[in-house]
A and B are shown apart, each in its own frame.
Chain A
Amino acid sequence: MIGYLLRRILATVPVLLFVAVLVFLLLQLTPGDPAVLIAGDYATTQQIEAIRHQLGLDRSILEQLAGWFARLARGDLGVSIFSQLPVTTLIGQRIEPTLLLSLYTVILSIAFAIPLGVVAAYRAGGWLDRVVMGFAVMGFSTPVFVVGFLLVYVFALTLGWFPTQGYVPVAEGWGAALRSLTLPAITLALLYAALLARVTRASMLEVLAEDYMRTAHAKGLGPRPVLMRHALKNTAVAIVTVIGVGVAALLGGVVVTETVFNIPGLGRLTADAILRRDYPVVQGLILLFACIYVVINLLVDLSYLLFDPRIRY
């Protein structure tokens, strides 16, 4: 087990290096120049050249890449070309809302989707199943900005229960923080709950058709212990995999939802940095996202041990 863990962790190093080099080269190929954006709309060519030199952007790609790796080896992700703030500070400012929004969304999704998926599978073909699957299709198909603006119109502008936009940091109180994230979390949860409900239903249907389920019924067990103890536990591997992918995607930033609700999360930081060609910030973020994906995949793989005793590493 420990050997497996070590092997997995070591295997991430070349993956991260590959991602880092690839992102660096892709950014160099992208049209756009941060020096031009810094100098502004009305700068002359000479002024732009001077800024490019100051930022070291006139050096060769290899020189720039070597410099970036040298700093990375010292744990320094560099500073933003624009704000001159350290990349770690910028990421640090955005982690809290993203983390909280992701957790809130996942909790809401699990709380609604798994019971709905189980019920839909148990009543497969009935009206309840159709209602749940109808909800799932709707949740999947409706763009998040439509759901977001509808929720804002009803619950913020009309009823005044929640703010229309913005994020209140936890330092100003958990209540205010959760209140500011409720509408965006519901918006995202509709999408993830739809996905999760469908996966739960499909896995449950497969398990419910197994011989051991007939045995459980024959033993005289009621529907609740059959579903919860025998069926659901056997679908857990598929469900956890979907949850893992969902968490990684949420932590990687959800630009549209963050934009509609004006949440200063990692998604918007990434989009802004790409649009401005703020290379150090983009590189730092991509490295972070690669790490998040690697860690979550590892956790998901390890969680299989809990649900399926046949799995050994």
Chain B
Amino acid sequence: MTRRSMLKGMALALAAGLLLSPAMGHAQPSVLRVRPFGDLKAIDPIVNSDYMARNHGYMVYDTLFAMDETLAIKPQMVDSFQTSADGLTWTFVLRDGLKFHDGAAVTAADVVASLQRWGQRDGLGQQLFANTADIKAADDKTVVLTLKNQWGLVLDALGKPSSNVPFIMPARIARLPATESLTDPVGSGPFIMKKDEWVPGSKVVYVRNPDYKPRADATSGMAGAKQAGVDRVEWLYMPDAQSALNALQAGEIDIFEEMPPDMLELVARNPKIRVQPQDTLATQVVFRMNSLQPPFDNPKVRQAIRYMVDQSVFLAAYVDDPKLYKDCPSFYMCGSPYYTDAGWVKQDLAKARALLKEAGYKGEPVVVLHGTEAGITNTFSSVAEQLMRDIGLKVEPQAMDWGTLTARRTSKKAMNEGGWSLFISAPTGADMMDPLGHLGLRSNCDKAWFGWPCDDQIEKLRGEFAMTPDLGKRKEIAKAIQLRAEETVPYVPLGQLSLVRGVSTKLSDIPAAAVPVYWNIKKAN
């Protein structure tokens, strides 16, 4: 062997060793690797109503109340609470031993500052504070909320599971204006964010909060005991679903959120992967019309759309497995407390065409903001466009990315000035459960969700709903709102979809909750 060939051999062996050997390491902490459904763009869950900011919030913050698996609101940071006989004064006492990640104790002053900031941004929070005469810290552990009038949804507001969630943060952070994003992720939740390891667009790292004191009661939904079951959680954002599937199959990640339905078959026979619902409430797909511009400024045209829709046609176009969707004849989520099928109409294309004629439809273009990035929006928009053509509407789809869509839909202008007629979105079930928090039913004109439906009657009923403490009476009001919405048609529900996640069989104790949360999960070696 010559010296040159020996050196070549050594170099090759070294290179092969470097490339092929697994990384050398010491005993590794337990790490849960998750491919979240989206990227964490910003860390302020109050300024941002984005669901990833909300999910980040659940990692680092705690809440006063939480929703259990029966959708009841249960104390979380609160040890005990009481209401005065007139229902106007609410007193909340915090649990002992609650600490922020910087070591400071959680005090009633922190709670007051956090709720005040949240109350400026969240819809339900704004209504709570509009009815609040005073909120103050009576002592370090006691918060006293005094209402102006009886308001039936105090616990629903403080325990709401989805955006914007009233997370509790240190007062020094919560004093920031509600339009200015916070930069310090200190909370008192079961995980601590490692901000120095945050690579926006790629990776978010959380470590176990050793000081977190869980409740003693059993876990139920988002309520009860919650504790970090692993030392470290890594959110590894992968924009490409196929790459995420490869990573799950190779064991590089443990959870793949929002697995597209066409991939379910690919993992069905993999013994190392199971598929499960991502949340217990599912999502409602909505067909949202612009009530300010023709042709949808005419209620008869909107009613025509109501008769055009057969939810199962839309749902089956997106997902094959009937277990993953539900034809839900209600504006409220099926299985939620205010669900009702009162006044629900079935698909009748002849009636839809007749209504268009009756409305005097003159062939105005229906400009569809057709989001092409998100699977649900893309598929449902395609089906909607064909059905609208079938009933005689002149359809003008405009393909665009989600960023453009979200900007375009804020425009109230006419079609020839960049306006729009409809878009399709899929809010989580938690935002579509009750008349007050409901995104699509709100009909308070300029203050309503994009599309700006305007109806005094619905607004009056929503006002009554808020002031009614009795659940039975509230259900009656919710039903009346649905009946009225059948006439005004602020939007059309296109059915319920269960988003699913692919999960490694190494994981156990995954909470079945209203939104995806990562406490309590254990990972076998």
B-contacting residues of A (Cβ < 8 Å)? 31-33, 36-48, 50-51, 53-54, 80, 82-85, 90, 93-94, 149, 152, 156-157, 160-166, 168, 172-176, 178-179, 182, 259-262, 264, 268-269, 272, 275-277
Contacts and interface: CB of A to CB of B under 8 A. Distances in A.
B49 A31 contact: no
A36 B439 CA distance: 17
Contacts of A45: 410, 446
A271 B292 CA distance: 34
Contacts of B449: 42, 44
A259 B19 contact: no
Contact of B200 (A51, A82, A157, A162): A82
B347 interface: no
B110 to A, nearest CB: 22
A34 B411 CA distance: 15
Given A36-B406, A165-B238, A277-B403, 13 more contacts: A31-B407, A50-B179, A51-B179, A82-B42, A85-B200, A93-B199, A164-B249, A164-B250, A168-B23, A172-B23, A175-B17, A264-B203, A268-B201
B446 A165 contact: no
Given A165-B243, A178-B19, A32 B407 contact: yes
B200 A166 contact: no
B246 A156 contact: yes
Contacts, number: 158
Interface string B333-369: 0000000000000000000000000000000000000
A4 B331 CA distance: 72
A48 B410 contact: yes
Contacts of B404: 31-32
Contact of B252 (A41, A44, A164, A277): A164
Interface string B371-409: 000000000000000000000000000001111101110
A146 to B, nearest CB: 12
B202 interface: yes
Interface band, chain B: 35 or more
A269 B203 CA distance: 12
Contact of B181 (A31, A38, A152, A264): A38
A147 B43 CA distance: 36
Contacts of B163: 40, 42
Contact of A161 (B20, B49, B400): B20
A264 B203 CA distance: 9
Contacts of B439: 42
B39 interface: yes
B41 A37 contact: yes
Chain A binding surface, main DSSP class: helix
B403 A84 contact: no
A40 B48 contact: yes
A173 B26 CA distance: 13
Given A40-B49, A48-B410, A84 B23 contact: no
A259 B239 contact: yes
Nearest to A278: B41
Nearest to B248: A164
- Residue with the greatest number of chain A CB neighbours at <10 A, chosen from B43, B407, B425, B446: B407
Nearest to A52: B179
B238 A90 contact: no
Chain B binding surface, main DSSP class: loop
Interface string B235-248: 01011101100110
Interface of B: 17-21, 23-24, 39, 41-43, 47-51, 53, 121, 123, 163, 177, 179-181, 183, 198-203, 236, 238-240, 242-243, 246-247, 249-250, 252, 400-404, 406-408, 410, 425, 427, 431, 439, 446-449
Given A80-B200, A163-B252, A164-B252, A262 B243 contact: yes
A123 B141 CA distance: 86
Contacts of A46: 446-447
B23 A173 contact: yes
- Residue with the greatest number of chain A CB neighbours at <10 A, chosen from B181, B249, B439: B181
Which 3 A-B residue pairs are closest in the complex by CB-CB distance? A40-B49, A264-B202, A175-B18
Contact of B247 (A38, A40, A161, A165): A165
A154 to B, nearest CB: 12
Contact of B19 (A38, A40, A93, A179): A179
B179 A54 contact: yes
Contact of B20 (A54, A80, A157, A179): A179
A179 B16 CA distance: 10
A164 to B, nearest CB: 4
A64 B203 CA distance: 31
Nearest to B23: A176
Contacts of B401: 275
A269 B238 contact: no
Contacts of B246: 152, 156-157, 164-165
Nearest to A31: B404
Nearest to B442: A44
A47 B242 contact: no
- Residue with the greatest number of chain B CB neighbours at <10 A, chosen from A48, A84, A160, A259: A84
Contacts of A84: 42-43, 181, 183
B18 A260 contact: no
A45 to B, nearest CB: 6
Contacts of A37: 41, 50, 403, 406-407
Given A39-B48, A163-B250, A166-B236, A90 B19 contact: no
Contacts of B200: 80, 82-83, 85, 90, 272
Contacts of B51: 40
A271 to B, nearest CB: 8
Contact of B42 (A83, A156, A157, A168): A83
Given A38-B181, A163-B250, A165-B247, A272 B48 contact: no
Nearest to B409: A36
